[in-house]
A and B are shown apart, each in its own frame.
Chain A
Amino acid sequence: MAFIQVTILIFVGITGTAVVVTRNPIHQVIGLSFYGIILGLFFFILQAPDVALSQITIGAVVLPLMFMLALAKIRRQEQRKSSSGHPESARGA
């Protein structure tokens, strides 16, 4: 049991570091989702299934999804800005 815990804890460290080191926001979001799943697995191994379930739904699904949607919205606005010529006319949120 301790072996599995240590292995997953190391994986949590590796994926967490990978998320921080990644520069491209979109790649970072994918990494964040992966990190969320690993962390959920870690909670599950530590016999906290309730927390694991919350972690998987929020950390691996909702949080990356919100980031993705926000990134898409920003990109759309930037495209509109560059296509319209004058930035002031591109009113956004």
Chain B
Amino acid sequence: MTITTRKRLFVMFGAALLAIFMLAVRELPEFGHYRGPYGDVLNRETVYERHVTDVVSAVNFDWRGIDTLGEESILFLSVVGTIVLLRTGDGETEHKDEQGTTSNDDIPLPSEATRVASLGLVGPLVVFGLYIVTHGHLTPGGGFQGGVVLATAPLLVYVAGDLKTFKRIANHEFVEITEALGIGGYLSSGFLGMVLGSAYLRNVLPLGTTGHLFSGGTILVLNVFTGAAVAAGMVSILYAFLEHTIEVRLRRKG
């Protein structure tokens, strides 16, 4: 197919799509005017029923907790898939050692300014990440967002050129155990609802006082498990991508 035919086809079908799209947009409710009943019901009832101030977290980790379990499994499987894809076989490692001296591995150490800025940010980022994870039921955020923030801390250590420290943080055993605890904890705390209540992932823990850190029952617990799983998953992917570069650069230095 030549480029001219392709362009002609694009214009033709593009115009048709635009026309249908315009028709569909005309039927949409007006911008900013929500029609459905569910959001209003949730907004009205959630604070009284679950003692939390962030309705989004209550939807994610309580009303639709099973959906979040699905999301977490998707993330877990993607992490496993990435690691399996990027893993170097036994024969491959030796092969790479001989040839691993391409110019790309010869990146100079980062400047002092980069080092100070990134290492200075590590502490605040860890605190901020923990805050986002543990306050998911009170303010915007939760396990997913906080977990990603937590995972950027080791990345900054890598950016600062502290490869030995990065390797120690991204230590396989530690990260894998955290990941397993996160996903396993979410899965098994769902059974608590079956034992004490009536259904899987039912919110059975005491709800506490609205606005306090320990409130909302299982929402906080599930957020912490999700945070652990997400942070560990992100760090494992990072390490899988950077492993080769780190090995070569560490050997060169030591």
Contacts and interface: CB of A to CB of B under 8 A. Distances in A.
Interface of A: 49-54, 57-58, 61-62, 65-66, 69-70, 72-73, 75-76, 79-80, 83-84, 89-91, 93
B155 interface: yes
Contact of A53 (B104, B141, B234): B141
7 contacts: A50-B57, A50-B145, A51-B56, A65-B155, A76-B102, A91-B91, A91-B92
Contacts of B86: 73, 93
A70 B86 CA distance: 10
Given A91-B92, A93-B86, A73 B241 contact: yes
Interface of B: 54, 56-57, 85-88, 91-92, 95-96, 99, 102-105, 132, 140-142, 144-145, 148-149, 152, 155, 234, 237-238, 241-242, 244-245
Nearest to B104: A76
Chain A's interface: helix, strand, loop or mixed, by majority? helix
Contact of A58 (B91, B105, B148): B148
Given A62-B234, A65-B155, A80-B102, A50 B142 contact: yes
Given A61-B148, A62-B148, A76 B244 contact: yes
A90 B92 CA distance: 9
